[in-house]
Amino acid sequence: MDRSLRMTEPSRNRVGTTEKSLTILEHLQQEDGAGVTEVATTLDMSKSTVHSHLTTLVDCGYVTHHDKQYHVSTKLLRLGGRLRDQSPLYQAARIEMKSLAAETDGVVRLYLKEGDDATMIAQEGYHPGIRERHLGERTPLTESIAGPVMLAEHGRSDGEYSDDGEEADDAGNPDDDGTVTHSEIDEAVRDRFDRIHRRGYAVETGATGSDRTFAGALSRRDGTVMGALTVTVPGDAASPLSAGDRLLEAVERVELSLTSWYDSHATFSPKHSWHVHSN
């Protein structure tokens, strides 16, 4: 817990050059490719500097260079993919994700809890009407359905829902009666969490369509939350209610496989610290 110094930057960056290269890389990403001068003007750098960084990124394989246009390459996908594929969470979940998607004909997503955010690291199934979610997309816990269910599950361990300074909930309450006043807010939140805990999952009806999303937290044996599993079924699904029950089965099986994995890899190497993801 480092106290935030009054320096604008939390910690004094050491290597400004790398920062510059990564800024250029992210700019290429956001703009879906760009040329040298475009990057130079928008990022306020000299053309030659941008050129140097871009050639370096090309040589390292992170950027492709064709027809005066620089694009990010698939190397980022490759590096990020290996990170995901090797994670025990993904390894434990993919079997259940497949069968869950097949049986409910919905879209199944796997989230990894990272601090106060949830990152979608895998997806199975597809339906044109359902809202897209990008691979690796990172959303605050307060904005996704996967969020509340994680916070609620987190509260299960210590008997109190997490209140680490972040406002756990205020927006997107599906069934909130508008007359909530100052003191009643906490109670409403607690009520919601209790309800989630009792039912084991959260439900959210899609804003636009009539699809429903069921979310369940994936927690370790000690109660800490590792991620969440989600299935959203379209409105014209055969049996939307059974999807929720089916989700709970999948969650339970994933947790089982996960804990058994940890038992077999009980060697206390500080590597593979798949437990403290909190960046």
Q: 56-95: which residues touch DNA (CB under 7 A)?
A: 65, 68
Task: For residue 51, count other CB atoms closer than 10 A to its CB.
Answer: 16
Residues whose CB falls within 8 Å of the CB of residue 40, separated by 6 or more in sequence, listed in order: 46, 47, 49, 50
Question: How far apart are CB 55 and DNA at their closest, in Å?
Answer: 7
Name which of DNA, a copy of itself, none residue 47 binds, using a CB cut-off of 5 to 8 Å depending on partner kind.
DNA
Taking CB under 7 A as the criterion, the residue among 48, 210, 242, 260 binding DNA is 48
End-to-end C-alpha distance for the chain, whole angstroms: 13
Name which of DNA, a copy of itself, none residue 42 binds, using a CB cut-off of 5 to 8 Å depending on partner kind.
none
Assigned token pair, 254: 């994933």
Query: For residue 171, what are the CA distances in angstroms to 141, 161, 201?
Result: 11, 17, 18
Q: Is 207 in the site for DNA (CB under 7 A)?
A: no
Question: How far apart are CB 265 and a copy of itself at their closest, in Å?
Answer: 12
Taking CB under 7 A as the criterion, the residue among 38, 103, 105, 116 binding DNA is 38
CA distance 150 to 196: 10
Q: Is 11 in the site for DNA (CB under 7 A)?
A: yes
Name which of DNA, a copy of itself, none residue 211 binds, using a CB cut-off of 5 to 8 Å depending on partner kind.
none
- Helices (runs of H) and strands (runs of E) counted in the chain: 8, 8
| Residue keyed to tokens 């290597």 | 15
Question: How far apart are CB 188 and DNA at their closest, in Å?
Answer: 40
Task: Give me Rg for the CA atoms of the chain.
Answer: 22
Name which of a copy of itself, DNA, none residue 32 binds, using a CB cut-off of 5 to 8 Å depending on partner kind.
a copy of itself
Q: Is 49 in the site for DNA (CB under 7 A)?
A: yes
Nearer to DNA, 14 or 182 (CB): 14
3-state secondary structure of 48: helix
Which residue, among 163, 15, 66, has the nearest Cα to 54 in the 3D structure?
Answer: 66
What backbone phi and psi angles, to 5 degrees, belong to 22? -70, -35
Count of residues near DNA by CB under 7 A = 23
Name which of a copy of itself, DNA, none residue 46 binds, using a CB cut-off of 5 to 8 Å depending on partner kind.
DNA
Name which of a copy of itself, DNA, none residue 84 binds, using a CB cut-off of 5 to 8 Å depending on partner kind.
a copy of itself
**Which stretches of the chain bind DNA, using CB under 7 A?**
11, 14-18, 20, 35-38, 45-49, 51-55, 65, 68
